[in-house]
Structure 1
Amino acid sequence: MQQKIIALGALFLSACTSAGTPPAEPGPDACGASGYQSLVGTPLAAAALPADLDARIIRPGMAVTMDFRADRLNIEVNEAGEIVRVYCG
């Protein structure tokens, strides 16, 4: 009886472990920011951004969440409306 309980416990414990390898961490350019670096220094109004681009525009003094999302493109602009930084997060 005790052997059956031990075997059953081992079965339950093995079900709690994940099979295979863990998912890969996203790379440092998961949002594609490297493709938009040429926009740094240009006015946001003149930037040719795709209509379906999911980006967060960060203006001076704007409150932003501190959660990190590797797939989120952030475009930071200065007081003059010029793009000063493009990065993932």
Structure 2
Amino acid sequence: MSARLFPIGLLLLVALTGCGSRDTASEQAAEPPSECTAEAVQTMLGQFASAETVEQTRLQAGAEKVRVLAPGDAATMDYNPQRLNIDIDESEAIIRLTCG
């Protein structure tokens, strides 16, 4: 009986070995994300914070994420160097741009 199970066990071992492999070459080739630079987008101060303006500002700052904060909004205090923070006033004009 064990002679019949040997090919099945070998096949199972080969299949599981393939599941555990990783393509580390493509992971190493990927560039790390660039860091947010708020200084690059200070010209956006005073602009209306439309969805298009927010996305354009995020891209120009090199940020991975964006957070728009209106007066009275709660915000977490975690620091994320890949996040652009856009503070707006009551009329939704951009009043401050920071990274973190």
**Map of 1:80 onto structure 2:** 91
After TM superposition, the structure 1 = structure 2 runs for residues 1-89 of structure 1, keeping only pairs within 5 Å, are: 30-45=35-50, 47=53, 49-50=55-56, 54-89=65-100
Quote the Cα distance in structure 2 between the aligned partners of 1:44 and 1:70. 21
Q: 1:66 to 1:85 in 2, by over 3 A?
A: same
Quote the Cα distance in structure 2 between the aligned partners of 1:69 and 1:54. 9
Structure 1: give runs of 5+ residues left out of the alignment.
Answer: 1-29
More helix by share: 2
Q: Could you give the per-residue CA deviations for residues 41-76 of structure 1, whole angstroms, max 9, x where no partner exists?
A: 111127263387621111111110011112211011
Deviation at 1:33, TM superposition (A): 1.4
Q: Choose 1 or 2 for highest CA Rg.
A: 2
Instruction: Supply the AA of the counterpart residue of 1:44.
Output: A
Identity %: 33
TM-score normalised by structure 1 residue count: 0.57
TM-align CA RMSD: 2.2
Structure 2: give runs of 5+ residues left out of the alignment.
Answer: 1-34
Quote the Cα distance in structure 2 between the aligned partners of 1:48 and 1:76. 11
Structure 1 window deviating more from structure 2 (70-79 vs 38-47): it is 38-47
